[in-house]
Amino acid sequence: MLIASDHGGFELKQALVAHLRNQGVEVDDLGVNNLDSVDYPDYAALVAEPVSQGKEESGILICGTGIGMSIAANKFPGVRAALVHDQFTAQMSKEHNNANILVLGGRVLNPDDACRMVDVWLHGVFEGGRHQNRLNKIAELEHVE
């Protein structure tokens, strides 16, 4: 599992990395490693590019609100980055959208809630069927000039 944040998501990232590793999930923490100000698109790309290329199955991105990371990550073909706010949206992001990147806001969530949201997404199952048809249509949009 790839994970990265900017400075606005750093503290939540640290909590999520510890939470995931406690569960035995292999986590590749791509930074940041401190609270120095950085540009979130640089860190979005570290996770979104390998997911887009099929080198990694999924990842987690965190910035202050989650907005910038989700905008940036969704520029990469094949990436379905879902900015989620609670357990319900985390669940739907997997069951309906098959989100391959979960995006969280470090300044809007408390760590315990965020850990539960990550668990719901990680252990959820994509329902396929009509939802797959919709994902196919999203993929077609990537080829619209």
Judged by the rule CB under 6 A, the positions of this chain that interact with ligand RB5 are 6, 8, 40, 63-65, 67-68
What is d(CA 105, CA 90) in angstroms, rounded to the nearest whole number?
A: 13
Nearer to ligand RB5 by C-beta: 1 or 69?
69
Nearer to ligand RB5 by C-beta: 6 or 99?
6
Nearer to ligand RB5 by C-beta: 36 or 145?
36
Smallest distance, ligand RB5 to C-beta of residue 38, A: 9
Out of 7, 19, 63, 115, which one is annotated catalytic?
63
What is the enclosing helix (H) or strand (E) of 17? helix 10-22
Which tokens go with 135?
């994902």
Is residue 115 among the annotated active site residues?
no
7: Cβ–Cβ under 8 A, 6 or more apart, which residues? Answer: 32, 34, 35, 36, 37, 38
Out of 7, 19, 85, 96, which one is annotated catalytic?
96
Catalytic machinery residues = 63, 96
